């Protein structure tokens, strides 16, 4: 009950677009309000301030990433699925480098919801490694290796630190190949099964 106003989801959508366009650093409540035809104090009826709105975008971004990864790898298994997953991840970054930044914001350890959605993409990765029948613990090490490499790559790319003339696309191809070679080889050693 009570007065009907703008929907919270629409506000999150507007914020998402602004962050994706302008980057997290240039993100301001005033811009969100303007885009929604409201005044910034009104946003406090929906969110507990700037950080809380960014958190909402962080959740949405993880959901978006998960959906893209799931869609792109549909029907694939093992190596094929894994390779496709890596490229889909990087595609997402290239299309959404703005909101990608939100995924690197430290997560409050009491934030159940946020923790839940960040695990969704990770579980997908775990799925593609599961055919290897690695020991549970070892497969966690592998997941971390993969996430580190892929995230690290796009993060360095964003930082423009790779810009010597050599093609980044090619670097990423090789990176994925080497991840696959390494993980599949390692998984064939008995000691990890």
Partner DNA sequence: AAAAATAAACTAACCCGATTAGTTTATTCA
Partner DNA sequence: TGAATAAACTAATCGGGTTAGTTTATTTTT
Give the footprint of DNA on this chain (CB under 7 A): 1-6, 27-30, 33, 37-42, 44-46, 49-51
CB 121 within 8 A of CB 66: yes
Q: Which does 50 bind (CB under 5 to 8 A by kind): a copy of itself, DNA, none?
A: DNA
Q: SS3 for 2?
A: coil
Q: Which does 1 bind (CB under 5 to 8 A by kind): a copy of itself, DNA, none?
A: DNA
- Of 34 and 186, the one with the shorter C-beta distance to DNA is 34
CB of 36: closest distance to DNA in angstroms?
A: 8
Q: Which does 160 bind (CB under 5 to 8 A by kind): DNA, a copy of itself, none?
A: a copy of itself
- Distance CA(163)–CA(31), nearest Å, equals 32
- Of 15 and 86, the one with the shorter C-beta distance to DNA is 15
- Assigned token pair, 79: 């190596």
Which residues contact residue 9 at a Cβ distance below 8 angstroms, ignoring those fewer than 6 apart? none
**C-alpha 120: how far from its chain's center?**
10
Residue 45's alpha-carbon distances to 37, 41, 53, 72, in angstroms, are 15, 8, 11, 37
Q: Which does 51 bind (CB under 5 to 8 A by kind): a copy of itself, DNA, none?
A: DNA
Question: By C-alpha distance, which of 175, 123, 127, 186 is closest to 151?
Answer: 175
CB of 9: closest distance to DNA in angstroms?
A: 12
Number of H helices, E strands in the chain: 8, 0
Residues that bind a copy of itself (CB under 8 A): 104-107, 109, 118, 137-138, 140-141, 144-145, 147-153, 155-156, 158-164, 166, 168, 170-171, 174-175, 178, 181-183, 185-186
- Of 33 and 76, the one with the shorter C-beta distance to DNA is 33
């Amino acid at each position: 009950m009570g007065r009907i106003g703008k929907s919270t989801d629409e506000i999150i959508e507007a914020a998402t677009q602004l962050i994706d366009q302008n980057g997290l650093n240039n993100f301001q409540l005033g811009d969100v309000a303007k885009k929604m035809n409201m005044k910034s104090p009104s946003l406090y009826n929906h969110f507990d301030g700037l950080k809380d709105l960014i958190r909402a975008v962080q959740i949405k971004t993880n959901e978006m990433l998960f959906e893209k990864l799931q869609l792109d790898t549909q029907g694939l298994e093992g190596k094929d699925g894994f390779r496709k997953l890596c490229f889909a991840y990087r595609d997402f970054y290239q299309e959404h480098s703005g909101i990608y930044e939100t995924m690197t914001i430290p997560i409050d350890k009491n934030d159940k919801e946020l923790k839940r959605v960040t695990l969704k993409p990770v579980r997908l990765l775990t799925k593609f490694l599961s055919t290897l029948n690695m020991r549970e613990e070892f497969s966690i090490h592998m997941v971390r290796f993969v996430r580190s490499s892929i995230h690290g790559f796009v993060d360095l790319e964003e930082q423009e630190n790779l810009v010597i003339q050599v093609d980044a696309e090619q670097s990423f191809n090789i990176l994925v190949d080497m991840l696959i070679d390494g993980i599949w080889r390692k998984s064939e050693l008995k000691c990890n099964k």
